[in-house]
Amino acid sequence: MHDDLQREIRRLRRINAVSLGLLTVFALGAFVRSRQSPRFDEITVGRINVVEPDGTLRLAISNKARFPDPVIDGKTYPLRSGAKPAGMIFFNDLGDEQGGLIWNGAKRGDGYSAGASLTMDQWRQDQTVQMSYEDESGERWAGFRVIDRPDLPLTPMLDAYMRAMQLPQGPARDSAVAAVRAHAVAAGMTPAQRILVGKGSDKAAVVVLNDPAGKPRIRLRVDSLGTPSLEFLDAAGKVTYALPGAGGGAPAPR
Protein backbone atom coordinates (compact mmCIF):
# COMPACT_ATOMS: atom_id res chain seq x y z
CA MET A 1 0.00 0.00 0.00
CA HIS A 2 2.82 2.35 0.87
CA ASP A 3 4.55 1.65 -2.48
CA ASP A 4 1.34 2.36 -4.41
CA LEU A 5 0.96 5.70 -2.65
CA GLN A 6 4.53 6.68 -3.46
CA ARG A 7 4.06 5.78 -7.13
CA GLU A 8 0.85 7.86 -7.30
CA ILE A 9 2.59 10.87 -5.75
CA ARG A 10 5.45 10.62 -8.27
CA ARG A 11 2.93 10.37 -11.15
CA LEU A 12 1.08 13.47 -9.96
CA ARG A 13 4.35 15.36 -9.68
CA ARG A 14 5.24 14.48 -13.27
CA ILE A 15 1.83 15.65 -14.48
CA ASN A 16 2.18 18.92 -12.59
CA ALA A 17 5.66 19.51 -14.04
CA VAL A 18 4.45 18.91 -17.61
CA SER A 19 1.39 21.14 -17.09
CA LEU A 20 3.51 23.93 -15.63
CA GLY A 21 5.90 23.70 -18.59
CA LEU A 22 3.06 23.90 -21.10
CA LEU A 23 1.54 26.88 -19.30
CA THR A 24 4.92 28.63 -19.35
CA VAL A 25 5.29 28.05 -23.11
CA PHE A 26 1.78 29.35 -23.80
CA ALA A 27 2.34 32.40 -21.58
CA LEU A 28 5.62 33.26 -23.30
CA GLY A 29 4.00 32.87 -26.71
CA ALA A 30 1.17 35.20 -25.73
CA PHE A 31 3.68 37.73 -24.37
CA VAL A 32 5.71 37.70 -27.59
CA ARG A 33 2.56 38.09 -29.68
CA SER A 34 1.46 41.05 -27.55
CA ARG A 35 4.81 42.81 -28.20
CA GLN A 36 4.46 42.53 -31.98
CA SER A 37 2.93 45.41 -33.96
CA PRO A 38 -0.59 44.72 -35.18
CA ARG A 39 -0.90 43.97 -38.89
CA PHE A 40 -3.85 44.75 -41.13
CA ASP A 41 -4.57 43.78 -44.70
CA GLU A 42 -6.70 46.91 -45.13
CA ILE A 43 -7.73 49.91 -43.04
CA THR A 44 -10.16 52.75 -43.76
CA VAL A 45 -9.41 56.06 -42.06
CA GLY A 46 -9.88 59.80 -42.51
CA ARG A 47 -6.35 60.69 -41.39
CA ILE A 48 -3.16 58.99 -40.20
CA ASN A 49 -0.68 60.86 -37.96
CA VAL A 50 2.91 59.63 -37.71
CA VAL A 51 4.44 60.92 -34.48
CA GLU A 52 7.69 60.67 -32.56
CA PRO A 53 7.77 59.01 -29.11
CA ASP A 54 7.29 62.46 -27.53
CA GLY A 55 4.17 63.06 -29.64
CA THR A 56 5.73 65.46 -32.18
CA LEU A 57 3.85 65.19 -35.47
CA ARG A 58 6.12 64.22 -38.40
CA LEU A 59 3.69 63.18 -41.14
CA ALA A 60 -0.04 63.56 -41.71
CA ILE A 61 -1.84 61.58 -44.43
CA SER A 62 -5.32 62.99 -44.70
CA ASN A 63 -8.55 63.33 -46.60
CA LYS A 64 -9.92 66.82 -47.39
CA ALA A 65 -12.12 67.07 -44.29
CA ARG A 66 -9.23 66.47 -41.84
CA PHE A 67 -6.41 68.14 -43.77
CA PRO A 68 -4.10 69.99 -41.34
CA ASP A 69 -3.57 73.73 -41.27
CA PRO A 70 -0.01 75.09 -41.66
CA VAL A 71 2.23 75.06 -38.56
CA ILE A 72 5.17 77.49 -38.38
CA ASP A 73 7.23 78.18 -35.25
CA GLY A 74 4.84 75.93 -33.34
CA LYS A 75 1.80 78.05 -34.28
CA THR A 76 -1.14 76.79 -36.33
CA TYR A 77 -2.52 79.18 -38.93
CA PRO A 78 -5.88 78.65 -40.72
CA LEU A 79 -4.48 79.89 -44.02
CA ARG A 80 -5.32 77.28 -46.64
CA SER A 81 -7.53 79.14 -49.09
CA GLY A 82 -10.43 77.55 -50.95
CA ALA A 83 -11.36 73.91 -50.68
CA LYS A 84 -8.74 71.89 -48.83
CA PRO A 85 -7.04 69.10 -50.79
CA ALA A 86 -6.31 65.52 -49.85
CA GLY A 87 -2.70 64.51 -49.46
CA MET A 88 0.17 64.34 -47.02
CA ILE A 89 2.08 67.01 -45.13
CA PHE A 90 5.65 66.66 -43.90
CA PHE A 91 6.77 68.14 -40.55
CA ASN A 92 10.30 68.76 -39.25
CA ASP A 93 11.75 67.81 -35.87
CA LEU A 94 10.00 70.78 -34.25
CA GLY A 95 6.61 69.87 -35.67
CA ASP A 96 6.62 72.71 -38.23
CA GLU A 97 5.35 72.09 -41.75
CA GLN A 98 8.17 71.37 -44.20
CA GLY A 99 6.35 70.60 -47.44
CA GLY A 100 3.90 68.08 -48.74
CA LEU A 101 2.19 66.25 -51.54
CA ILE A 102 -1.38 67.15 -52.49
CA TRP A 103 -3.72 66.23 -55.34
CA ASN A 104 -7.22 66.95 -56.57
CA GLY A 105 -9.57 66.28 -59.45
CA ALA A 106 -13.24 67.25 -59.73
CA LYS A 107 -15.95 68.27 -62.15
CA ARG A 108 -16.54 72.01 -62.47
CA GLY A 109 -19.75 72.73 -64.41
CA ASP A 110 -19.12 71.52 -67.95
CA GLY A 111 -15.39 71.22 -67.30
CA TYR A 112 -13.04 69.99 -64.62
CA SER A 113 -10.22 71.02 -62.34
CA ALA A 114 -7.31 68.69 -61.61
CA GLY A 115 -3.80 68.89 -60.28
CA ALA A 116 -1.04 67.63 -58.04
CA SER A 117 1.83 69.34 -56.27
CA LEU A 118 4.96 68.26 -54.42
CA THR A 119 6.53 71.08 -52.41
CA MET A 120 9.48 71.58 -50.06
CA ASP A 121 9.42 74.45 -47.58
CA GLN A 122 12.30 76.67 -46.53
CA TRP A 123 13.15 76.80 -42.83
CA ARG A 124 10.54 78.95 -41.01
CA GLN A 125 9.18 79.98 -44.40
CA ASP A 126 6.99 78.72 -47.25
CA GLN A 127 7.68 76.55 -50.28
CA THR A 128 10.98 77.05 -52.08
CA VAL A 129 10.75 74.07 -54.47
CA GLN A 130 7.61 72.93 -56.28
CA MET A 131 6.85 70.25 -58.86
CA SER A 132 3.26 70.58 -60.07
CA TYR A 133 0.56 69.68 -62.57
CA GLU A 134 -2.33 72.13 -62.99
CA ASP A 135 -5.27 71.57 -65.33
CA GLU A 136 -8.39 73.69 -65.77
CA SER A 137 -10.51 71.98 -68.44
CA GLY A 138 -7.54 71.49 -70.74
CA GLU A 139 -5.60 74.64 -69.83
CA ARG A 140 -2.62 72.68 -68.54
CA TRP A 141 0.68 73.43 -66.93
CA ALA A 142 3.23 70.84 -65.80
CA GLY A 143 6.64 71.73 -64.50
CA PHE A 144 9.14 72.66 -61.83
CA ARG A 145 9.73 75.93 -59.95
CA VAL A 146 12.46 77.21 -57.62
CA ILE A 147 11.44 80.18 -55.47
CA ASP A 148 13.58 82.63 -53.51
CA ARG A 149 12.33 83.23 -49.96
CA PRO A 150 13.71 85.86 -47.57
CA ASP A 151 16.02 84.85 -44.74
CA LEU A 152 13.39 86.08 -42.29
CA PRO A 153 10.76 84.05 -40.43
CA LEU A 154 7.27 84.16 -41.84
CA THR A 155 5.47 84.27 -38.48
CA PRO A 156 5.54 88.08 -37.81
CA MET A 157 3.80 88.76 -41.12
CA LEU A 158 1.33 85.92 -40.53
CA ASP A 159 0.53 87.18 -37.04
CA ALA A 160 -0.15 90.67 -38.42
CA TYR A 161 -2.31 89.20 -41.17
CA MET A 162 -4.33 87.14 -38.69
CA ARG A 163 -4.93 90.23 -36.53
CA ALA A 164 -6.16 92.09 -39.62
CA MET A 165 -8.48 89.24 -40.58
CA GLN A 166 -10.08 89.30 -37.12
CA LEU A 167 -11.55 92.73 -37.88
CA PRO A 168 -15.16 92.89 -39.10
CA GLN A 169 -15.48 92.46 -42.84
CA GLY A 170 -15.39 95.85 -44.54
CA PRO A 171 -13.10 98.79 -45.42
CA ALA A 172 -11.20 98.67 -42.11
CA ARG A 173 -10.20 95.05 -42.60
CA ASP A 174 -9.36 95.59 -46.27
CA SER A 175 -7.13 98.51 -45.31
CA ALA A 176 -5.39 96.49 -42.59
CA VAL A 177 -4.73 93.58 -44.95
CA ALA A 178 -3.37 95.98 -47.59
CA ALA A 179 -1.07 97.51 -44.96
CA VAL A 180 0.29 94.09 -44.04
CA ARG A 181 1.01 93.33 -47.69
CA ALA A 182 2.64 96.72 -48.23
CA HIS A 183 4.85 96.20 -45.18
CA ALA A 184 5.84 92.74 -46.46
CA VAL A 185 6.94 94.25 -49.78
CA ALA A 186 8.86 97.07 -48.07
CA ALA A 187 10.56 94.64 -45.70
CA GLY A 188 11.64 92.32 -48.52
CA MET A 189 9.32 89.54 -47.38
CA THR A 190 7.84 88.78 -50.80
CA PRO A 191 9.02 85.68 -52.71
CA ALA A 192 10.57 85.72 -56.18
CA GLN A 193 10.39 82.87 -58.67
CA ARG A 194 13.93 82.23 -59.93
CA ILE A 195 13.72 79.09 -62.09
CA LEU A 196 10.86 77.70 -64.13
CA VAL A 197 10.99 74.54 -66.25
CA GLY A 198 7.87 73.15 -67.82
CA LYS A 199 5.19 72.99 -70.50
CA GLY A 200 2.09 75.17 -70.72
CA SER A 201 -1.19 75.03 -72.61
CA ASP A 202 0.56 76.24 -75.79
CA LYS A 203 2.56 72.97 -75.68
CA ALA A 204 5.88 74.80 -75.73
CA ALA A 205 8.70 73.47 -73.56
CA VAL A 206 10.34 76.34 -71.68
CA VAL A 207 13.18 77.12 -69.30
CA VAL A 208 13.05 80.59 -67.73
CA LEU A 209 15.75 82.03 -65.45
CA ASN A 210 14.69 85.10 -63.46
CA ASP A 211 16.63 87.75 -61.57
CA PRO A 212 16.30 88.24 -57.77
CA ALA A 213 13.25 90.42 -58.38
CA GLY A 214 11.54 87.57 -60.23
CA LYS A 215 11.83 89.19 -63.67
CA PRO A 216 12.71 86.90 -66.63
CA ARG A 217 16.26 87.46 -67.92
CA ILE A 218 16.89 84.30 -69.99
CA ARG A 219 14.21 82.36 -71.80
CA LEU A 220 14.87 79.07 -73.62
CA ARG A 221 11.94 77.73 -75.61
CA VAL A 222 10.95 74.97 -78.03
CA ASP A 223 7.47 75.60 -79.39
CA SER A 224 4.74 73.14 -80.34
CA LEU A 225 6.16 72.82 -83.88
CA GLY A 226 9.67 72.05 -82.60
CA THR A 227 11.17 75.48 -83.32
CA PRO A 228 13.84 76.47 -80.75
CA SER A 229 14.65 79.98 -79.51
CA LEU A 230 16.86 81.61 -76.91
CA GLU A 231 16.25 85.15 -75.60
CA PHE A 232 18.10 87.46 -73.23
CA LEU A 233 16.01 90.19 -71.58
CA ASP A 234 16.75 93.31 -69.59
CA ALA A 235 15.12 94.24 -66.27
CA ALA A 236 12.23 95.91 -68.13
CA GLY A 237 11.43 92.71 -70.03
CA LYS A 238 12.84 93.88 -73.37
CA VAL A 239 14.70 91.30 -75.48
CA THR A 240 18.29 92.48 -75.91
CA TYR A 241 19.60 89.44 -77.80
CA ALA A 242 17.87 86.47 -79.42
CA LEU A 243 18.75 83.29 -81.24
CA PRO A 244 17.82 82.77 -83.99
CA GLY A 245 17.48 86.43 -85.02
CA ALA A 246 16.08 89.30 -83.01
CA GLY A 247 12.50 89.79 -81.95
CA GLY A 248 10.18 90.22 -79.07
CA GLY A 249 9.27 86.56 -78.81
CA ALA A 250 6.29 85.16 -76.96
CA PRO A 251 5.32 86.44 -73.52
CA ALA A 252 7.06 84.76 -70.62
CA PRO A 253 5.13 81.82 -69.16
CA ARG A 254 3.81 82.07 -65.66
In the prediction, which pLDDT does 6 show? 63
| Nearest residue to 85 (alpha-carbon basis) of 59, 55, 126, 113 | 113
- Are 193 and 147 contacting, i.e. CB atoms less than 8 angstroms apart? yes
**139 HSE (CA, 13 A, CB side):** 6
In the prediction, which pLDDT does 252 show? 46
In the prediction, which pLDDT does 79 show? 83
In the prediction, which pLDDT does 28 show? 59
What gap in Å lies between CA 86 and CA 221, rounded to an integer?
34
Radius of gyration of the chain measured on its C-alpha atoms = 31
- Are 80 and 71 contacting, i.e. CB atoms less than 8 angstroms apart? no
* Residue ranges in the chain modelled with pLDDT below 50: 247-252
